[in-house]
């Protein structure tokens, strides 16, 4: 019986054989671990060598006009313009003026602490397109999928950790109803408000400064009340701002002699021009006189001031009124025709179309605000639209930097390495290599982000995705550019083609359907 248990396959013999083989098996496992890690390091070295031998992308044309939708200028008979940040580009002094007026009003009118008067404007802190969570008192950036860009959430001037952000929101993705109102835009019923125009940037900087002051001095406050007070203070200062700018317009307005050239080129090609702005006549007159000359009104078929956009585009029955430039009075006579050289105010787009006959794709309207200027005219009235995005100049300058291009190329290649080698199973040496790659990728992503803005990154991108701001801009504008006068580089019969939207499943293929 005892000898039987010592047969070829007895447990004793198997155990003894395993014990003898264990060092060999362990060495083989270690060799496998090392081999995989070495192959990963070789792939990394090869990729880096390829990077250095790879040509950098061509520079982007800083004076380019970029298409979101196909646009044939031969179909456009009428060109319309907003004024602020479309025809008129302001110097940084405008931001300081609005900030200082709003800050002092908080102290003088609303009796905020005197120490707030010492808070200085911080240019470059905020960027356009951010969202402010009114109830939580947070400034943050969302991408096109309504995901929070972690590392870019601020309470006052203090960045929140990723852990704190997740505790507050429970998820990186914000529900659509929390961001947008029922009608699809951003209004008083939204939980968040967006910095959709450049006038809102100094306002948001003031809000963050005051909130930071309250936190540092342990002053209790309600985030919604603080937001309302700051917003009201800055907006109520606009009439004061108008008067100060009128008195010294060259201190605040960037000179651009090409505006007149653009008007003349369009008119010489048989195009009609009109101006619709929310700003008052005297303010517009001072700026347009500096930009174009005393005869600026003669370039336009129609000039409408104090239009109250977006209500101008959505209201049905608010009559157009004539404005007496001598007395400053809104006349009460019925307006049945629109005359060149006259100034009008208020009214509706429906009336404008009825009187002029300008409709649909024959009209191209330029503005800087995606909602106030562009949304209703393109979605409800079929006008073609152009967005003026002044930040685009800074973005393109950054994109054209050789070091930035190199970092972006390496970031893309490193991401592909991580993707291709992530199935490493239970290999601690390979996992160590992979973890180092991921850490390097995180550092690169932060470097690329901060090249645009230290706190919030690019206006147009959020990580691998487009920003929420660009998502709206892309939907609501047919073309966009950094400066209106970039149109001078294109003929009046130019056809703008958008780039092919390559989908994830066809990235190796280029085709048209």
Q: Which residues of 301-323 are buried (b: 16+ CB within 10 A; e: fewer)?
A: bbbbbbbebbbbbeeeebebbbb
Active site residue 506: no
Q: Which two tokens stand for residue 245?
A: 């700018």
In angstroms, rounded to a whole number, what is the distance separating the alpha carbons of residues 181 and 417? 42
Phi, psi of 345 (to 5 degrees): -145, 160
Phi, psi of 221 (to 5 degrees): -155, 160
Q: Which two tokens stand for residue 316?
A: 């049905």
Active-site annotation holder among 82, 133, 229, 483? 82
CB-based contact 274:300 (threshold 8 Å): yes
Say what the alpha-carbon torsion angle 101, 104, 108, 109 is, to the nearest 10 degrees: 50
Is 187 a known ligand-binding residue? no
Is 82 a known ligand-binding residue? yes
Preceding amide of 377 cis, omega within 30: no
Active-site annotation holder among 84, 95, 478, 483? 84
Q: Which residues contact 468 (CB under 8 A, 6 or more apart)?
A: 129, 131, 141, 142, 143, 144, 146, 179, 194, 462
CA distance to 120, 195, 208, per residue, from 212 (Å): 12, 19, 6
In angstroms, rounded to a whole number, what is the distance separating the alpha carbons of residues 195 and 311? 19
CA distance to 77, 304, 310, per residue, from 348 (Å): 20, 10, 10
Give the closest residue to 451 by CA, choosing from 504, 393, 394.
394
In angstroms, rounded to a whole number, what is the distance separating the alpha carbons of residues 97 and 91? 10
Alpha helix stretches (DSSP H) within 421-467: 428-450
Is 368 a known ligand-binding residue? yes
Q: Which two tokens stand for residue 268?
A: 């010489």
* β-sheet bridge partners, residue 384: 364
Active site residue 442: no
Give the closest residue to 262 by CA, choosing from 485, 420, 483.
485
Q: Which two tokens stand for residue 327?
A: 């007395």
Reduce the DSSP state of residue 357 to 3 states and report it: coil
Give the closest residue to 143 by CA, choosing from 469, 453, 502, 503.
469
CB-based contact 206:132 (threshold 8 Å): no
Reduce the DSSP state of residue 480 to 3 states and report it: strand
In angstroms, rounded to a whole number, what is the distance separating the alpha carbons of residues 156 and 193? 16
In angstroms, rounded to a whole number, what is the distance separating the alpha carbons of residues 211 and 215? 6
Q: Which residue positions form the known binding site?
A: 82, 84, 368
Q: Which residue positions form the known binding site for GMP?
A: 84
Q: Which residue positions form the known binding site for Mg(2+)?
A: 82, 368
Active-site residue list: 82, 84
């Amino acid at each position: 019986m005892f000898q039987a248990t010592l047969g070829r396959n007895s447990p004793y013999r198997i155990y003894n054989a395993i014990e003898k083989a264990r060092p060999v098996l362990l060495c083989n496992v270690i060799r496998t671990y090392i081999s995989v890690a070495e192959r990963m390091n070789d792939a990394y070295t090869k990729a880096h060598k390829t990077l250095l031998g790879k040509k950098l992308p061509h520079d982007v044309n800083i004076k380019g006009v970029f298409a979101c939708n196909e646009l044939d200028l031969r179909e456009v008979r009428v060109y319309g313009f907003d004024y602020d940040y479309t025809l008129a580009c302001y110097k940084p002094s405008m931001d300081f003026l609005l900030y200082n007026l709003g800050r002092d009003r908080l102290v003088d009118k609303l009796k905020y602490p005197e120490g707030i008067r010492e808070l200085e404007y911080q240019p470059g802190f905020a960027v356009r397109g951010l969202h402010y969570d009114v109830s939580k008192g947070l400034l943050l950036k969302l991408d096109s999928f309504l995901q929070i860009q972690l590392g870019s959430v601020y309470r006052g001037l203090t960045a929140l950790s990723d852990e704190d952000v997740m505790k507050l929101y429970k998820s990186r993705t914000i529900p659509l109803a929390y961001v947008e109102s029922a009608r699809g835009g951003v209004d008083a019923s939204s939980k968040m408000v967006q910095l959709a125009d450049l006038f809102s940037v100094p306002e948001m900087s003031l809000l963050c400064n005051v909130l930071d002051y309250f936190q540092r001095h342990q002053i209790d406050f309600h985030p919604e009340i603080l937001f309302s007070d700051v917003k009201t203070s800055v907006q109520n200062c606009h009439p004061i701002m108008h008067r100060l700018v009128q008195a010294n317009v060259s201190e605040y307005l960037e000179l651009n002699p090409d505006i007149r050239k653009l008007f003349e080129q369009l008119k010489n090609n048989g195009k009609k021009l009109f101006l619709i702005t929310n700003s008052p006549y005297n303010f517009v007159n001072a700026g347009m006189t500096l930009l174009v000359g005393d005869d600026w009104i003669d370039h336009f078929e129609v000039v409408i001031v104090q239009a109250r956009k977006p209500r101008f585009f959505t209201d049905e029955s608010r009559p157009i009124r004539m404005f007496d430039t001598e007395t400053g009075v809104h006349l009460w006579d019925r307006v049945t025709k629109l005359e060149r050289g006259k100034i009008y105010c208020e009214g509706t787009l429906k009336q404008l179309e009825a009187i002029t006959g300008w409709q649909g794709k024959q009209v191209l309207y330029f503005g800087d605000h995606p909602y106030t200027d562009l949304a209703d005219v393109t979605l409800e009235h079929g006008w073609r639209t152009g967005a003026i995005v002044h930040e685009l100049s800074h973005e393109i300058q950054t994109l054209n930097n050789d070091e930035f291009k190199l970092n972006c190329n390496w970031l893309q290649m490193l991401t592909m390495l991580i993707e291709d080698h992530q199935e490493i199973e239970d290999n601690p040496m390979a996992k160590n290599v992979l973890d180092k790659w991921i850490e390097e990728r995180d550092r690169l992503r932060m470097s690329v982000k901060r090249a645009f803005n230290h706190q919030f990154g690019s206006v147009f991108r959020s990580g691998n995705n487009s920003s929420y701001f660009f998502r709206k801009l892309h939907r609501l504008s047919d073309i966009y550019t950094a400066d209106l006068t970039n149109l001078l580089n294109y003929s009046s019969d130019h056809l703008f083609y958008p780039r092919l939207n390559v989908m994830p499943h066809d990235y190796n293929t280029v085709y048209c359907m």
